[in-house]
Amino acid sequence: MKHLLTIAGSDSSGGAGIQADLKTFAAHGTFGMSVITAVTAQNTCGVTLIQDITPEMISAQIDAVFSDIHVDAVKIGMISRSPSICAIAESLRKWKPTIVVVDPVMVSKSGSPLLQQDACDTLVRELLPLATLVTPNLPEAEAICGFAIHTEKDMVAAAKHIVGLGAKKVMVKGSRLSSNESNDYLFDGTKGIWLTGTRIDTPNTHGTGCTLSSALAANLAKGLTIEEAARQAKDYVTKAIAHGITLGKGYGPTHHFVDLYKCAGLPED
């Protein structure tokens, strides 16, 4: 069994953050571990409060895991401030994990900011050069690149720009580009491919970015090529969205275990 570590924030409503990551790891038959970077008071409607974990505690959590357990892949999600980003980068340089998937979480599904404005430059400088794969959505890619993204041609330019900043590979998520399609662009520094998809009309999309990046990390840890990992992760997320759970008054979560429910003879919705 592969061992996966998520370094991210906690979502008290269970749809995103480390909760979504751990569910995704389990759904992919891997063992999940977690380093909490922040605690959010959050539900399907929004984030009401964020309490950051100290950089010292973040580093101690990482050391505790790596010093005892082999880590096959790391997924990095919400990190709200520069000192925490620097602590994580220092720990990654110390322990040298083979696979690092960075999901540059900046804004929640409800529109609440999750990354302090001055921390974006730190994330680009400290974490992108350590990343095996970066998975920005369009607003995140715009913040990283410094230019607007309105077309698929812009997505290609953004992917090349992000690899130029040090990331080995990038998957630019294009679901916000069209009301009918959900096409992503995967670029490995040399070759680019489009992963096409149909946009699903549902409000139950809370945690999709966390889920996709965690599925990618699990697939890469299991030895899949980047293209295979991306295609399977996209298929997994698409099915999870299609069977999203109507929960709360806002954006409900995706269904991380829809296949397991089906096998067990339980209702899928």
Active-site residue list: 173, 205, 207-210
Strands 73-76 vs 170-173: parallel, antiparallel or unpaired = unpaired
**Eight-state DSSP code of residue 200:** P
Tell me which residue has tokens 């275990």: 257
Q: Rounded to whole angstroms, how far apart are CA atoms 65 and 47? A: 29
Alpha helices in the chain (DSSP H): 17-27, 55-66, 82-95, 119-126, 138-145, 152-164, 208-221, 226-242, 258-263
Q: CB of 17 within 8 A of CB of 10?
A: yes
Q: Residue 95, SS3?
A: helix
